[in-house]
């Protein structure tokens, strides 16, 4: 019986015949092209039901036709992975076997050592002999005076050792006869002693201490040359002139914030390698600075402050500041007795401050009768003023107005004033004025205008003002100091 088939298409991968309307192969899943193939009618025979239908073996993919899908059964397996796995297993087995063999050998060696019982042989004490020194005497030298025999104690003889239980030696040696101990040296030895004169070593040479280099200070806001000199150990205002010369400055007003200033370190006069310009006479031992009349030293005690010292001594913060220019007074209002609420002064225990000496209490002379009224004797409250600043030969620029500062040991009396005398030595002009303050700023009219640098001298004297205009100077006056002032032109 002949039968016609519907149009079919062939899978390009597995060559299985699929219906023309199928999009993918039902065998391998490949995409179908939809190209029909001619099918010849064939004679069909009924197949027995017990015979299974054999699946068609898919053909290998053709790479030339652009086929990428491969049949797994067509792939050839490489033997390299199996070879590597076998080699790894063999190495593991070999290593395990080598480890087990080494363990067995170590166990046998330890067992052999434990089974052997060596015989302990005590050591034989052999006394050491001290060598005999035979000195060679010089010609004409008495050898007996150089050699002093010293007895050497005889070493004790060890008692005989008991025979051992087993005379065998370790390591399986054959039995041997014990050797007799060596004879003991019983002869005393004489050690010669040489009478060598004692040599006294020379004292070590002193190594000179190197002098430290200059003290470098960096100017902070509100800083001054004198404050920087204090931090370097100076206590004399005369060092300002040295600092100006070292740093090529003509005036302390030229100091700029952040500027580095070279300051020579204070040295004792006569010290080796000492800087003669930086020699501090107060640094020498046992040299006490001379205080002006009416001034004394006060040592700060524990818990004291500048304010408590001012109140206890009955002075003002302005007087304490003028007497101690090396101490830093910050934010102080010198118009007030205690310096104001913002006044900060750093003092420490053991610090020495200059303070006015106490005024002696007025004494009442004895009265010859009971009718006279006792009159206390007048005692001056001011002994003598002394200058503070500027220091000698200080230079002021044309834009600066010099300020003269001095201090006193107490308050001025009634009718007493400070007589300030300023002399322009270059122009031969003398200025006199009176004030009750402890400072005076030179007016601009006193500044030279001839284009030259003038030298000025100044001095302060305690004077008595009578009738409002008559000034009578006293013998209490400061030293004469000089400064230079640059002309305005």
* Rounded Cα distance, 398 and 448, in Å: 9
How does the average pLDDT of the chain come out, rounded?
74
- What whole-number percentage of the chain has pLDDT above 70? 60
* pLDDT in the model for residue 437: 87
The residues, any chain, with a CB within 8 Å of residue 110's CB and separated by 6 or more, are: none
Which residue has better confidence, 405 or 326?
A: 405
According to DSSP H, which parts of 137-250 are helical? 143-146, 225-231, 239-246
pLDDT value for 483: 94
Question: According to the model, what pLDDT value does residue 378 have?
Answer: 46
Rounded distance, CA 381 to CA 415, Å? 13
Q: In this model, does residue 220 exceed pLDDT 80?
A: yes
Average pLDDT over residues 109-114: 88
Give all domains of the chain, ordered by start, each with its CATH number. Answer: 8-37 (no CATH), 215-283 (3.10.350.10), 295-356 (3.10.350.10), 386-486 (2.60.40)
Tokens read off for 19: 């219906």
The pLDDT tens digits of the residues spanning 267-317 come to: 655 555 556 665 554 444 334 556 777 788 899 998 899 999 999 888 999
pLDDT reading at 69 higher than 80: no
Q: Report the candidate in 390, 374, 478 with the shortest Cα–Cα distance to residue 442.
A: 390
| pLDDT recorded at residue 233 | 79
Q: How confident is the model at residue 57 (pLDDT cuts 50, 70, 90)?
A: low
Residue 252 pLDDT level (bands cut at 50, 70, 90): confident
Lowest mean pLDDT among 207-216, 313-322, 420-429, 430-439: 207-216
* Mean pLDDT, residues 93-106: 93
d(CA 394, CA 401): 13
pLDDT at 170 over 90: no
Give the whole-angstrom CA distance, residue 417 versus residue 433. Answer: 10
Answer yes or no: is pLDDT of 165 > 50: no
Give 64's DSSP letter: G
């Amino acid at each position: 019986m002949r039968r016609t088939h519907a149009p079919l298409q062939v899978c390009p991968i597995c060559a299985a015949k699929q219906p023309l309307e199928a999009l993918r192969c039902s065998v391998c899943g490949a995409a179908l092209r939809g190209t029909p193939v001619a099918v010849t009618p064939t004679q069909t025979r009924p197949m027995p039901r017990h015979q299974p239908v054999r699946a068609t073996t898919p053909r290998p993919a053709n790479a030339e036709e652009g086929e990428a899908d491969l049949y797994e059964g067509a792939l050839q397996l490489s033997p390299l992975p199996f070879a590597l796995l076998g080699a790894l297993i063999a190495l593991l087995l070999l290593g395990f076997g080598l480890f087990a063999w080494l363990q067995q050998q170590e166990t046998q060696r330890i067992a052999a050592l434990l089974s052997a019982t060596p015989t302990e042989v005590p050591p034989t004490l052999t006394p050491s002999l001290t060598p005999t020194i035979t000195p060679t005497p010089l010609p004409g030298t008495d050898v007996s005076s150089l050699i002093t025999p010293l007895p050497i104690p005889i070493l004790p003889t060890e008692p005989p050792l008991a025979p051992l239980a087993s005379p065998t030696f370790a390591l399986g040696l054959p039995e041997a006869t014990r050797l007799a101990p060596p004879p003991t040296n019983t002869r005393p030895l004489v050690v010669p002693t040489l009478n060598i004169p004692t040599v006294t070593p020379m004292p070590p040479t002193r190594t000179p201490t190197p002098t430290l280099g200059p003290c470098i200070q960096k100017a902070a806001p509100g800083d001054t040359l004198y404050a920087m000199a204090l931090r370097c150990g100076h206590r004399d205002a005369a060092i300002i002139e040295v600092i100006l010369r070292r740093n090529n400055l003509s005036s302390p007003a030229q100091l700029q914030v952040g500027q580095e200033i070279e300051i020579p370190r204070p040295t004792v006069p006569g010290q080796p390698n000492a800087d003669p310009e930086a020699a501090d006479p107060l640094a020498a031992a046992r040299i006490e600075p001379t205080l002006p009349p009416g001034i004394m030293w006060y040592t700060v005690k524990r818990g004291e402050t500048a304010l408590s010292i001012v109140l206890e001594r009955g002075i003002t913060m302005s007087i304490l500041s003028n007497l101690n220019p090396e101490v830093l007074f910050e934010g102080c209002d010198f118009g007030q007795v205690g310096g104001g609420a913002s006044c900060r002064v750093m003092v420490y225990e053991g610090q020495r401050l200059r303070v006015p000496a106490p005024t002696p209490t007025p004494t009442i002379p004895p009265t010859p009768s009971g009718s006279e009224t006792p009159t206390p004797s007048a005692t001056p409250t001011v002994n003598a003023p002394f200058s503070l600043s500027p220091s000698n030969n200080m230079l002021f620029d044309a834009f600066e107005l010099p300020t003269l500062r001095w201090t006193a040991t107490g308050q001025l009396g009634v009718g007493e004033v400070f007589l300030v005398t300023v002399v322009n030595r270059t122009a031969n002009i003398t200025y006199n004025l009176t004030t009750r303050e402890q400072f005076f700023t030179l007016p601009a009219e006193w500044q030279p205008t001839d284009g030259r640098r003038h030298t000025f001298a100044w001095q302060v004297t305690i004077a008595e003002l009578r009738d409002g205009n008559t000034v009578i100077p006293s013998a209490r006056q400061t030293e004469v100091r000089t400064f230079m002032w640059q002309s305005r032109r």
